[in-house]
Amino acid sequence: MNRYDEIASNLAAVQERIAKAAALAGRSEDEITLIAVTKTFPASDVDILSQLGISNFGENRDSDAAPKAASVAGTWHFQGQIQSNKLKSITSWSNVIHSLDEMKHFEIIEKIAPHSLEIFCQVSLDGSTGRGGASTEKLHELATAIGNSSRHRLVGLMAVAPLGVQPLEAFSQLSLIHKAFMVDFPKADKLSAGMSGDFEEAIALGATHIRIGSSILGSR
C-alpha cells in the first residue's frame, strides 16, 4: 500500500472509532477536535493529512516542528515539554499550546510571543512532574495569570494519563478537576485528553481535543 492509502485508511478507522465513542457518550462528534500528532514524521505525511481534510497538527519538539509548520498550513498545536530558550520559536509557529505548566514560561510568552495564542494548562494527575503538568495547587495561579492576559486566551486543561493508572480512572479524576476549575474559569471549557491508547475513554469523560499519532501514522 502506498503512504497516502495507508494514512487514509488509518485515519478513516480512527474517525469511525471517534464517532462510535461520541455516540456511546451521547455527545456530538462536532464537539471533538482531532489533532493529528505528526512528531517524528516527515512534512510529506502532514501534507497527506492535509489533503485528507485534517487541519490540526500536534508536535512535541520545536526543531522538528518549525519547518513542518512553515510548509503546511493549518492550526499547529505544541504539546511537548517547554524549554524557556525555545519559546521564541515555539510561539512563532504554534497557534495553541497544550503543555503550559510553569508561571515562568507564561511570563516569557507574554513578553515575546509574536501573536496571540490559545493556551491549555497541563495538570499532573499523580502529582509527579515526570510527564509534565502543574499540581492542582499551582494550576490556579497559572490560570489566573493567563486569564488576566490581554493577548492570550486560556481555553482549558490538558492532561496525560499517568503510567500504570487505568485511563477511565485517570480521566474521571481529570473531569472532576476540570469541573472544579471551571467554577473559577468558566470560559476554560476545553479538555485536551486522550492519545492512541486511550482516546475512547477520554471522549467518554468529556475530552474536546484528542491528540492522536501512532494510530494514524504508525509506530514511531
Ligand X SMILES: *Cc1c(COP(=O)(O)O)cnc(C)c1O
CB of 39 to ligand X, least distance (A): 6
Spatial CA neighbour of 18 closest among 5, 40, 3, 35: 35
Binding-residue pattern over the window 184 to 213 for ligand X, x denoting contact by CB under 6 A: -----------xxx-------------xxx
Cell of 111: 513578553
Q: Considering the rule CB under 6 A, would residue 121 count as an interface residue with ligand X?
A: no
Please state the closest distance from residue 14 (CB atom) to ligand X, in A. 9
CB of 194 to ligand X, least distance (A): 8
CB-based contact 74:53 (threshold 8 Å):
no
91 binds ligand X per the rule CB under 6 A? no
Within the chain, residue ranges assigned H as helices are: 3-24, 43-51, 62-71, 87-93, 103-112, 136-147, 167-184, 199-204, 214-217
User: How many residues lie near ligand X (CB under 6 A)?
Assistant: 13
- Residue 10 and residue 207: Cα distance in Å, rounded? 21
**CA 16 distance to own-chain centroid:** 20
In angstroms, give the least distance from the CB of 100 to ligand X. Answer: 13
Minimum distance from residue 160 beta carbon to ligand X (Å): 5
Q: List the interface residues with ligand X, window 143-182 (CB under 6 A).
A: 160
Site string for ligand X, 9-48 (x = CB under 6 A): ----------------------------x-x---------
Distance CA(209)–CA(36), nearest Å, equals: 10
- Interacting residue ranges for ligand X, rule: CB under 6 A: 37, 39, 60, 79, 160, 195-197, 211-215
